[in-house]
Amino acid sequence: MLDVQRSILDRIVPDFSLDKLPPDRLGDEDLWQRAEGAIIDLVETMDASGNLPKSIDQDQLIKETLNEALGLGPLEDLLADEDITEIIVDRRDRILISRRGAVAGANRAFSSDETFRRVVERLVAPSGHTIDEENPFVDIKLRDGSRLAAAVPPVAVRGACLTLRKPNATNYSLADLITRKAMSPNISDFLQTCVGARQNILVCGAPSSGKTAVLSALAGAAPVGERIVSVEEVAELSLDRDDWIGLEARPGDGNGLATVDMEQLLRGALRMRPDRLVVADVRGSEALELISAMASSNDGALASVAGDSPAASLARLTAMARMGSPGTPVEALRELIGHAVDVIVHVARYADDIFRIAQVAEVTGATERGFEIREVFSFRGSIADGGFTASGVVPEFYTGLEARGIAADTSIFQN
């Protein structure tokens, strides 16, 4: 059917000058009606002449061809499916989808590289950005809140590709994460205590490991009435509360629209006097601004960073902080981070496509070569017996909680 689609599009595209039509014209109802009529005529002609294989569903052929001509091709149905959270197109004939955390083939394809390239351009155009040989890569937020990362030649050496992540419509709570088997009740109780005691918490993990879901749940556990200010490069957090201000970075367009980067945004957020600062996906020199705030008066901060272990995430945070102050000795930055970060939550996605809390650790300081980290909880990989175990270590900050009027149940640290 893809071959037939391609032959029809070879006629339709020049006849309607679709490759020259502005993207905002593609939604015209009259255009869709005329294009559909032309496609139906071509399909009927091919059928009458015996050039249309009998195995092809004509209604499906007309629909798919029309979607490629004026819409988003096979992505139309995938975007409309609410169960699909992410769409990955490695090449025009390899489309993957993530449904409820599991990645699988979509059994869909574009009819040609040219058609897929046009669809990528249509996705990008409404945002005001362009994707072409001069600007071959974009990482943007679409109008519906989806996050799109796309590349075209020459940087995409095997042809256009994209990853589209739909906006997070779920507001996870700590209780939800227990239900999803992402953590145990004891870990939830501990994290709730950490939030209430205004400990600075760092969430780490690989891309798509569930960091954002855990960060959202932690922010949602903040006491009602606290004013939360979040900072993100591309907004993905979802918090179901009124006392929340969400800030999103903005790239410049080279035509007078100024860049607002994460570092600038973080400085602005701190001036807003947040009760609770939330910074998602720290990945640059803004790390220095963040740890400086966490180490001074901004307690109770929540942040996420890429890293496959607590130690690795702290090492990466150190390297990024040094980008903001190249002349500062690494030892001084480690000491600052050792004082700033109290608790680390490592999130990982397992073979059954469920993300879980792989480890919870307390940071007690820094050394000349690294950090002093004590494991508090971990996941040992056995669902039959619950999987989550306590190390028996009672975090140091628990000793002062009773005096502050905060309930502190130390029995959760015993298996």
Model pTM score: 0.80
Residue 27 reports pLDDT greater than 90: no
Question: How much is the pLDDT for 366?
Answer: 92
Question: How much is the pLDDT for 297?
Answer: 74
The per-residue pLDDT for range 241-254, each reduced to its tens digit, is 889 999 988 776 55
Cα 17 to Cα 11, 27, 276: the distances in Å are 10, 15, 53
Task: Please state the domain extents for the chain.
Answer: 1-71, 75-167, 174-413
Residue 380 reports pLDDT greater than 90: no
The per-residue pLDDT for range 269-305, each reduced to its tens digit, is 999 989 999 999 999 999 999 999 999 877 999 999 9
Residue 21 reports pLDDT greater than 70: yes
Q: Put the strands of the sheet holding 94-99 in their side by side order.
A: 102-105, 94-99, 84-91, 161-165, 147-151, 137-141
Give the DSSP letter string of 300-349: T-EEEEE-SSHHHHHHHHHHHHHHH-TTS-HHHHHHHHHHH--EEEEEEE
What pLDDT band is residue 153 in, cutting at 50, 70 and 90?
Answer: very high
Question: How much is the pLDDT for 3?
Answer: 93
Residue 6 reports pLDDT greater than 60: yes
Break the chain down into helix, strand, coil percent, rounded to 5: 40, 20, 40
Question: How much is the pLDDT for 169?
Answer: 61
The pLDDT of 230-236, averaged and rounded, is: 87
The pLDDT of 192-202, averaged and rounded, is: 96
Question: How much is the pLDDT for 245?
Answer: 94
Residue 102 reports pLDDT greater than 80: no
75-167 adopts what CATH topology?
Beta-Lactamase (3.30.450)
Question: How much is the pLDDT for 63?
Answer: 95
Give the DSSP letter string of 139-151: EEE-TTS-EEEEE
Q: What is the mean pLDDT of the chain?
A: 90
The pLDDT of 176-189, averaged and rounded, is: 93
Residue 111 reports pLDDT greater than 80: yes
Residue 412 reports pLDDT greater than 90: yes
Question: How much is the pLDDT for 252?
Answer: 66
The pLDDT of 86-93, averaged and rounded, is: 95
Question: How much is the pLDDT for 170?
Answer: 66
Question: How much is the pLDDT for 292?
Answer: 93
Write out the two tokens for 160: 């256009």
Write out the two tokens for 94: 């390899």
The pLDDT of 327-339, averaged and rounded, is: 93
Residue 188 reports pLDDT greater than 80: yes
Eight-class DSSP state of 262: H
Q: How far apart are CA 363 and CA 315, in angstroms?
A: 13
Contact 281, 232 (CB under 8 A): yes
Pick the CATH number of 174-413 from 1.10.275.10, 3.40.50.1860, 3.10.290.10, 3.40.50.300: 3.40.50.300
Question: How much is the pLDDT for 253?
Answer: 59
The pLDDT of 50-59, averaged and rounded, is: 92
Question: How much is the pLDDT for 215?
Answer: 95
What pLDDT band is residue 204 in, cutting at 50, 70 and 90?
Answer: very high
CA angle 165, 171, 173 (to 5 degrees): 130
